[in-house]
Chain A
Amino acid sequence: MKAAAFAYTRPAALADALRAAGRDARFVAGSQSLGPMLNLRLAEPPALVDVRRLPELRGARVEGGRLHLGAAVTHAEIEDGAVPDTTHGMLPAVARGIAYRAVRNRGTLGGSLAHADPAADWVNAMTVLGARCHIAGPDGRRVLPVHEFLQGTYRTALGPGELLVEVELPAFSERMRWGYYKVAAKVGEFASAIGAAVHDPALAMTHLLVGAIEARPLLLPPFAGALELAGDAAIEAFGARIAAALPQADAVFVHQHATALARAVARLRAEGAA
């Protein structure tokens, strides 16, 4: 199918983009999620405002130990190390697991978060990392923790005309460790389950994430010994907590998600040992 007719602009500055967007237009970045929706005519916006080249969305810098990544930074740029990384390799590793290179060349961090597919990798990785979203809109700027930015399946806190400008990560220490595991039927596919764990003693942060759950990611309350669990015991312990938090989930769903988290934790431990 071909998209319905739409107007297209590519403003040079953020202010122009916000003005051009008005209330009805849609922002477009890599078009790797919006493009298929346009072609299937699931979305028929009257106008597209292309934000891919806005300088404010293309930046990447570390300030006070905190990494700021522009919303229009591509998956490929993160994968290739073309932007700084403060996560000891987590961001490039996650990027590498997204789709295929052709998609990664175009798809952007901000587009992925704004699209808010629960199975998307940045949705889960940025949640487990405790990222914050910088937003600009007709009424000015605001900052939201990613967990509040994400509201549910394909739903975010972005209001009409609001643009995600950049993502900011906490100032991780040298002792930060991570694990990320994606269960998918084949390489490059969206996840059927995601498990992720981040631990940074300096920040007193232990995040255990269960993702690809048809809702925004679930952060399990940390519990004693969680990071020491392994094998079937880990799957069982995480499975019980996932089943309690998601009573509708069936046995296969719980087991795949518990496995993903158990393997993420195992990787986190292996990171620490290395």
Chain B
Amino acid sequence: MSENRTGIGARVLRKEDERLLNGRGRFIDDLAFPRLLEAAFWRSPVAHGRIARLDVPADLAGSVFAWRDMAGVRPITARSTLPGYQVSDYAALADGVVRFVGEPVAVAVAPTRAEAEDRVARLAPSIDELPPLADVRSALASRTPLHPGWKDNLFIELKRDDDFAALEGRVAHVVRREFRMNRQSMSPMEGKAVLALWDDQRNQLVVYSSTQVPHMIRSGLAECLGLPLAQLRVIAPDVGGGFGYKCNLMPEEVAIAWLALKLKRPVRWVEDRREHLVAGTNCREHQYRMAAHVDARGRLLGLEAEVWVDSGAYSVWPFTACLETGQIIGNLPGPYKMECYRCTVQGVATNKPPFSPYRGVARPGVAFAMEMMMDAIARTVGRDPTAVRFENLVTAADMPYTNIARKAFDTGDYPSSLTRVMEMLDHAGFAQRQAEARKEGRYLGIGFATYTEQAAHGTSVFASWGLPIVPGYDGATVKLTADGTLEVKVGVHSHGQGMETSLAQIASELTTLPLEAINVIHGDTGETPFSTGTYASRSIVMAGGAVSKACEVLMGRARTLAAALGKCDAAALRLEGGAFRGAGVTVSLKDIGEAWFHRPERLPAAVPDGGLEVTEHYKPAVDTGVFSFASHGAVVEVDIDTGNVRLVDYVIAEDCGTLVNPMIVDGQTIGGAVQGIGTALFEEMPYDAAAQPLASTYADYLLPGASEMPHIRIAHSETPSPHTRHGIKGVGEGGAIAPPAAILNAVNRALAEFGVEFNETPLTPRRLLAAVLAARRARAAAPLKEAA
């Protein structure tokens, strides 16, 4: 295998770029079908209300529908077996009550989207407004639960309560802080899109969905529509980014599938940007109240936290409002050691769009809180923030290590990643650079954040949250064809992760075939074996493992046939360059494929009849997840007169186990980091007191742009996981986790002389400037005290 240049670890260009970068991607909006109807939704203009009347003009009968028309369709109901969890029924079109601005109430179809919107514009349902729960505080205070039969406005409360008595006498400081990560929109390049049609020949409803999880969507649709699974096929064609937004069953998805059944015509809905911003699920509205019990050196002895998540109006299917809360309580301690931990997390129901996991799930929030806390501890004990991190990080010598939240860290040298980013930023020389810049009136700061990225956590973890669908084995089918090329079919979906390449690289590693000879097919429940799909940094571990295992079995069969064709001992053959060689013979995979499929007379009668198509299923021996890790370091320059923050330098030292394709890992890391920069400085989905969204276009919701990006430098190390095939860990989410903390820590260092400390994202120019101006005014008013 030494000649293999396209296997695991090779820096090869992505196969899928050829079509995507040349405009040949095929997204749902590109599909064409005869008699296709386009759909548009009438969406609630109020956050909370009872639908009093919904009249449909007579001439629109048959092209406008409401929930009352959808007899027999069940609401989306995301259950969990966690004690105390309260279930919400989320009807595809509002069932009498609307609970957020943008909730679909009625749907209109027409030959074009513009005409469908014309029809929607003629509807004028009357809605009696109810008092809105605009935020966590008002939802907790309200005596009126948002959903019938609920006892309060909590989807879920999770608790962990250690006794802190053992710390008696050792705690030098209790460092208290509050942190806030504001609400965001996920903004994939392509919004959600669905197209459904009935296929008479297959006797199936075919649903094209812009989704990360086609097999799960199939199960969810079957449940809502009451269709047998065998009569449902879900196809995810090219998908323009997901980030978690597209791992839920959406009400529009149910409505469009139902319309196709009802109207017996293809029906499509493509979410536009305004719908995405106003009505799409949101993410990341976390609030933290924390207390760190530390000794005089800043060693963390115990951590107390109260956390609130604004989970919006409905629990999403299948991940529920429990996923984020569960991840918070489990991941808040991060890569740090401590003796006791007390944490309460409440997932609170409000009149905002439902909450969805987003790249990194809860970890950008918990890492923000924990890493800001590390710097706060450092300030309290008077040490450098990096020294305090080294004091507390789990070390390589501790591995394997089960942390306070029972996370089983597999391998890694967490402190080394911090050392590495410090070197990359010349941490030792920073104080001097900062002082020189200050003389020119420039404010520089440096900040760090370290985290672990639990990847591919499987059955036991999801089962403990009691979700409707728990991931287990991932399947892969590999098929050697008559000309010696290979088809690989997987149930995950690739929408930016480059898996058509990285999975092919794994297959190439096992088969020694070149990448051009390997075709990866994904995202079609009619063609691929089951997988719960792409989320939680799992696909390269799970689908990658399944492909590896299937290729191994396939090559075993091929070896047997090669020996039969070469009339030699199978054990004497080695696989190399696409052929079995040795014992004086060379039998290529092409020879084998050709013999099996087209020229069976070449094979002896007694040859095994298993064939050259293999489906295998895989999950790692330990299914609690593998842990990638990284440290990020940022140098910022703060303009104290405009409030702008410029990223001068940004570095990442990451370790995701065995690198399958270093360039793809770089791409994933940079892409995630850019989204993390968005969280840190730009992105916020604000709501007013009536729970009306205040950002409905990108003029108001700012995404980071190319001009704002520093040149991100990345260093890799490779610590394989003992639990997975090839030692691979996941890396899809990691980049997004650390930037908010690294950047705000850097800003706080830059502005230390003003005594301001920022603990809320995004750090907008307005927020920054308001605090700096207040501090400057206070300093001007009390110059003597300042000098003293």
User: Does B642 sit within 8 A of A, measured CB to CB?
Assistant: yes
Which chain B residue lies CB-closest to A259? Answer: B641
A252 touches B769 (CB 8 A): yes
B702:A252 contact, CB within 8 angstroms: no
- Residue of A41, A188, A190, A192 touching B765 (CB-CB under 8 A): A192
B residues 312-350 with Cβ under 8 Å of A?
none
Stretch at the interface among A2-10, A72-80, A131-139, A145-153: A2-10
- Whether B121 pairs with A41 at a CB distance below 8 angstroms is yes
Stretch of B112-120, B301-309, B412-420, B503-511 lying at the A interface? B112-120
* Structural contact, B117 and A2, CB atoms closer than 8 A: yes
A273 at the interface (CB under 8 A from B): no
The answer, yes or no, to whether B272 is at the interface (CB within 8 Å) is: yes
B705 beta carbon closer than 8 Å to chain A: yes
CB neighbours of B113 from chain A (8 A): 2
Residues of A within 8 A of B117 (CB): 1-2, 4, 41
Please name all residues of chain A whose beta carbon is closer than 8 Å to the beta carbon of B770 when the two chains form the complex: 251-252
Residues of B within 8 A of A185 (CB): 644, 682, 702, 764-765
Q: Which residue of A lies closest to B707 (CB)?
A: A187
Contact present for A186 and B682 (CB under 8 Å)? yes
Q: Which positions 640-658 of chain B face chain A at CB distance < 8 Å?
A: 641-644
Instruction: Let me know if B231 is at the binding interface, CB within 8 A.
Output: no
A186 and B274 contact, Cβ closer than 8 Å, known pairs A235-B641, A252-B770, A252-B773? no
Q: Which of A164-212 contact B (CB under 8 A)?
A: 183, 185-190, 192-193
CB distance B644 to A1 under 8 Å?
no
Please state if B118 and A255 are interface contacts (CB–CB under 8 Å): no
Is the Cβ of A186 less than 8 Å from the Cβ of B272?
no
Determine whether the beta carbon of A256 is less than 8 Å from that of B642: yes
Instruction: Collect the chain A residues with CB atoms within 8 Å of residue B641's CB.
Output: 235, 255-256, 259
Are B114 and A2 interface neighbours, CB within 8 A?
yes
- Number of A residues with CB within 8 Å of any CB on chain B: 24
Residue of B nearest to A235 (CB): B641
Interface assignment of A13: CB less than 8 Å from any CB of chain B = no
CA distance A192 to B644 in the complex (A): 11
Candidates A188, A192, A251; contact of B773 at CB < 8 Å: A251
Q: Is the CB of A256 within 8 A of B274?
A: no
Residues of B within 8 A of A4 (CB): 114, 117-118, 121
- Please, which residues of chain A bring their CB within 8 A of the CB of B697? 36, 40
B773 to chain A, nearest CB (A): 5
Distance in angstroms from B479 CB to nearest chain A CB is 44
Q: Decide if A1 touches B272 in the complex (CB within 8 Å).
A: yes
Q: Are B114 and A259 in contact (CB under 8 A)?
A: no
Please give me the residue from chain A that is nearest to B114 by CB atom: A2
When distances are taken between beta carbons in the complex, the residues of chain B under 8 Å from A36 are 697
Decide if B708 is an interface residue (CB 8 Å cutoff): yes
A-contact bits for B672-692, CB 8 A (1 contact / 0 none): 000000000010000000000
Chain A interface (Cβ < 8 Å from any Cβ of B): 1-5, 36, 40-41, 183, 185-190, 192-193, 235, 251-252, 255-256, 259-260
7 A-B pairs with the lowest CB-CB distances in the bound complex, closest first? A187-B707, A2-B114, A259-B641, A183-B642, A252-B769, A251-B773, A252-B770
A-B contact pairs, 11 of them (CB 8 A): A1-B272, A4-B114, A4-B117, A5-B114, A5-B118, A187-B708, A193-B642, A251-B770, A256-B642, A259-B642, A260-B642
Other than A185-B702, A260-B642, give 14 A-B pairs with Cβ distance below 8 A. Answer: A1-B117, A1-B274, A2-B112, A2-B114, A3-B114, A36-B697, A183-B642, A183-B765, A185-B682, A185-B764, A189-B702, A192-B766, A252-B769, A256-B765
